[in-house]
A and B are shown apart, each in its own frame.
Chain A
Amino acid sequence: MLEQQLFNALSLGCVYALFALGFTLIFGVLGVINLSHGAVFMVGAYAAVEAMTLLHLPLWAGLLFSFVFCGVLGLLIDVLVLKPLRARNAPHLIPMIATIGVAIILNNGVQGIFGAQNVRFPSSAVSDDAITLAGLHLTSVELGIILLSFALMAVLIVALKKTQLGRALRAIAESPKAAYLLGINVEGLFYLTSFAAAGLGGVAGVLIGLYSNAVFPLMGQPILHKGIAVIILGGMGDIRGAMLGGLFLGFAEVLSVAYIGSTMRDAVAFGLLFLVLLVRPKGLFGTLQERKV
C-alpha cells in the first residue's frame, strides 16, 4: 500500500515539476514571474484535444502540435507584451501585471469559444490498461509523465551546463547587460526561451489533461498556484530545483492525504511554502544573493 502511495506521489510530483520547468525557465532568463503560464498550459491542452479530435492525430503528434502552438503563443506574448516593457525599462512588477492581463484574455477567450464545460481527449488516445509491476498499478499516462519529465529535465540541465547556448543563457540570467556587451544575442535568446518555456507548458497541459482526464478553461489556475510554490521551494530559476520542488510537493501532498486526511491537501503546499520561507528564505534548494553594502 505504501509503495502505491509513493508511486502516486512520484507521478503527482512529476506533474508539478513538468509545469514548473517552463515557469522557472522564464523566471531564470527573463526575470519575469509569468502569471500567464497557467493559461498557456491550458491552451496547450485544448490545442491537443482539438487537433486529435478534428484531425485524428495520434498522441505524439498532438503533443508536438501543442508544443509548437504554445511555443508560438509564448513568442507572441514576448514580442507583443514583454519586449516593449523591456525596451521601456518598466519597473519590475509591471511585466507580472501584464501577464495577468494575458492570462485573463486567454482564460476567458477559450471559455468564450469552447464554453466552460469539460472537454476530453478522444478515448482512443491512450490505452488505459494498467500495468501491474511488483504489485503496483501503473497507467501508461503516469509512466509517460514520469519518464518525460525526467527526460526533459535532463535535456535542459545538459543544455544549460554543457552547450554554448546554455552558457549564453546563464550569462543572461546573471546580467542581460553584461551578456549583451559580450556579444550575446540577448533578444534572440529571450525569444527562444519564451518559445521553449511556453512549449513545455503546452506539453505539460496535454499530459496533465490526460492524467486527470479533464480539460477546462480554468484548469491552469490551480496548477499555477502550485507551480509558484514549487519554484519557490526549489529556488527561483533553478531547473534542478523545479524538479526537486515538484517532487517534494507531490510527496508531501500524497502522504498528507494518506496520513492526515484529504481536506487539508491544499493547505500542505502553501503551509510548507510559508514555513520553508520563514526558515530558509532562499527556498529549500536555492541560493540567495546577499546584498553587499
Chain B
Amino acid sequence: MEWFDNFWAVYSNLVLTLGTNALLALSIYLTLSCGMLAMANAAFMGIGAYTSALVTMNLGLPYPVALAAGMAAPGLMAFIIGKPTLRLSGVYLAMATLAFGEVVRIVVLNAESLTGGALGLNGIPQSTEWWHVGLALLLTVAVLWRLRRSRVGRAFEAIKEDETAAGLMGIDVGAHKMLAFVLGAMIAGLAGTLNAHLTFFIGPNEYGFDRGVDILTMAILGGINSLFGPILGGIMLTVLPELLRGFKDFRLVVNGFILVLIVLFLPKGIWDPARFRQWFSRSSRKGAAA
C-alpha cells in the first residue's frame, strides 16, 4: 500500500476537490432541472464556507454544527432572495443571481472585522476527512435520485418543459422553484463548508463571477439530463488542468480548446442517455438485420 500512501500524500487534495466540485455541479443541476438558470451557487458556496469557518474558528463549536450552519445559512439566504428573484426567467434570472453573487463577494471583502476582508480567513481547522466528502456526495446523489422519481421531481420536469402549462395543470410553480433554489443553495453551502475545512484558507475572490461560470460549465459540459452528467463534468474540469501540466504555460489554452471541442461535438453534454439509447438501438437493429 506504499504507492497508495504516496499517491494520497500528493493528490488527496485534488481527489477531495473532485468531490466538492461534483457537489457544486449537482447544486446547479438541481435548479437547471427545474428550468431556472440561477447562477448564485458560487455565492452560496462562499456563504456556507464563511459561516462554517466562523462557527469553528470564532465559536469553537464542533464540525457537525459547522456543517449544519454552512448549509442552513445559504439556504436561508436563498429563501430570502428567492421570493423577488425567481419571478425573473432566462438570462435575466442568471444576471440577477450573478449580480447578487458579486454583491456578496464585495460585502465579504468590506466586512473586514468579521471576514478578514481581502486577506480572507486563515487557519481554518482541517476537519474534512475523505469519507466526509464521499458520504456527502453519496447522500446528495441519493436525495436527488429519490427526488427525480417523486411527485416533486416530475413537477420540476413539467416546469422545465413549459412553465405556463405546468401552472395550468395545478402545479404550484413558485413553491417548486423556491424548493429547487433553496435545496441547490444548501448543496452549494455543503460543498463550501467541506472545501473550507479542507484548504485551511478561504478568500472572497474564490467565490466570484468566474467560479459561478465554472460551476455552470461543469454541469453543462457533463450533461444535465441525468445525475451522473454533472458529476462527470465536475471531475473532468478538475482533472483536466492537472493532466495538461506538460503543456506548461499553454496548458489552459489546451484546456480551452478541449472545452470548445466537447461543446461542438457533444452539445448535449458528455453524458447523454438519449444518445446512448440511440447508439444501442441502432446497433441492435443492425444486429437484427444481420
Contact = CB atoms under 8 A, between A and B. Distances in A.
Contacts of A105: 253, 256-257, 260
A189 interface: no
Interface in B83-142: 84-85, 87-88, 91-92, 95-96, 98-100, 102-103, 106-107, 109-110
B257 A101 contact: yes
Contacts of A35: 213
A279 to B, nearest CB: 9
Given A94-B220, A266-B102, A267-B107, A274 B267 contact: no
A232 B102 contact: no
B226 interface: no
A270 B267 contact: no
A221 B210 contact: yes
Interface in A64-100: 81, 84-85, 88, 90-91, 93-94, 97-98, 100
Interface residues of A, number: 45
Contact of A273 (B37, B99, B209, B221): B99
A3 to B, nearest CB: 29
A278 B88 CA distance: 8
A126 to B, nearest CB: 32
Contacts of A98: 259-260, 263-264
B103 A281 contact: no
Interface string A223-235: 0010011001000
B103 A267 contact: yes
Contact of B263 (A85, A112, A274): A85
Nearest to A233: B95
Interface in B15-51: 37
Nearest to A81: B260
Interface in B45-98: 84-85, 87-88, 91-92, 95-96, 98
A97 B107 CA distance: 28
A85 B99 contact: no
A91 B109 CA distance: 36
Nearest to B89: A281
A293 B164 contact: yes
Interface in B240-265: 249-253, 255-260, 263-264
Contact of B259 (A91, A101, A232, A269): A101
A265 B59 CA distance: 32
B106 A102 contact: no
Contacts of A293: 164, 168
Interface in A249-285: 263-264, 266-267, 269-271, 273-274, 277-278, 281-282
Nearest to B247: A112
A162 interface: no
Contacts of A85: 263-264, 267
Given A101-B257, A105-B260, A225-B209, A277 B96 contact: yes
Contacts of A84: 264
B262 to A, nearest CB: 8
Nearest to A272: B99
Interface string B266-284: 0110000000000000000
B88 to A, nearest CB: 5
B260 A273 contact: no
A97 B263 contact: yes
Nearest to B107: A267
A221 B213 CA distance: 12
A229 B110 CA distance: 21
A274 B264 contact: no
Contacts of A282: 92
A277 B253 contact: no
Interface of A: 33, 35, 81, 84-85, 88, 90-91, 93-94, 97-98, 100-109, 111-112, 221, 225, 228-229, 232, 236, 263-264, 266-267, 269-271, 273-274, 277-278, 281-282, 291, 293
8 contacts: A81-B260, A81-B263, A94-B220, A98-B259, A112-B250, A236-B91, A267-B106, A270-B106
Interface of B: 37, 84-85, 87-88, 91-92, 95-96, 98-100, 102-103, 106-107, 109-110, 164, 168, 209-210, 213, 216-217, 220-221, 249-253, 255-260, 263-264, 267-268
